[in-house]
Amino acid sequence: MKKVIITFAVGTVCVLIIPYLLSYRFHYPPLPFENMTKREVVEKINDADNRLVKLTTENGHEWFITSERNIAAVDEMIKELVSKEGWVFELKEGSGLIFEKQGERLIVTTQKWTGDYVLCQIPAYFNE
C-alpha cells in the first residue's frame, strides 16, 4: 500500500509541479535587469516578428534580445540598428562593439543568456 501512495505522490509531482516550474522558466539563468520576468522575456521574443527585439529600458540602458545563435550575425544586427542613428562602427573588443559619433563613444555589449538567446545592452542615449 505504501508503494502505491509513494508512486501516486511522485506521479502527481511530475504531472503537476514540473510543468508549472518549466512554464515560468525557473530553469533559465537570472536576467541582468529587474523589470521583466523570464517568462515575459521568452514570450516577447517568441511573439515577435523581428529578429532583434527590444525588451526594456533600465538604468540608462536599452535591453534587446535575439534568438540568433551566430554571434557574427548578432553583431551585424546591432551594427545595423545603431548605425541608423548615425553612429559609426569602430571596432569589436571581446563582447563589446564600439561606435563613435561626433567625438562621443558608445559601447554596446552582448551576452549569452541561454544557449538559445543573446541579450544586448545598449546605452539609452544611442537614439537621441
3-state secondary structure the chain: CHHHHHHHHHHHHHHHHHHHHHHCCCCCCCCCCCCCCHHHHHHHHHHCCCCEEEEEEECCEEEEEECCCCHHHHHHHHHHHHHCCCCEEEEEECCEEEEEECCEEEEEEEEECCCCCEEEEEEHHHHC
Residues 92-108: what's their mean pLDDT? 95
Instruction: Find the length of the chain.
Output: 128
Residues 101-115: what's their mean pLDDT? 94
Task: Work out the percent of the chain whose per-residue pLDDT is above 90.
Answer: 59
Query: How confident is the model at residue 23, as a pLDDT?
Result: 47
Cβ–Cβ < 8 Å for 78, 90:
no
Does domain 31-127 correspond to CATH entry 2.60.40? Answer: no
| pTM for the full predicted model | 0.78
Domain boundaries, the chain: 31-127
Query: Average pLDDT of the chain?
Result: 86
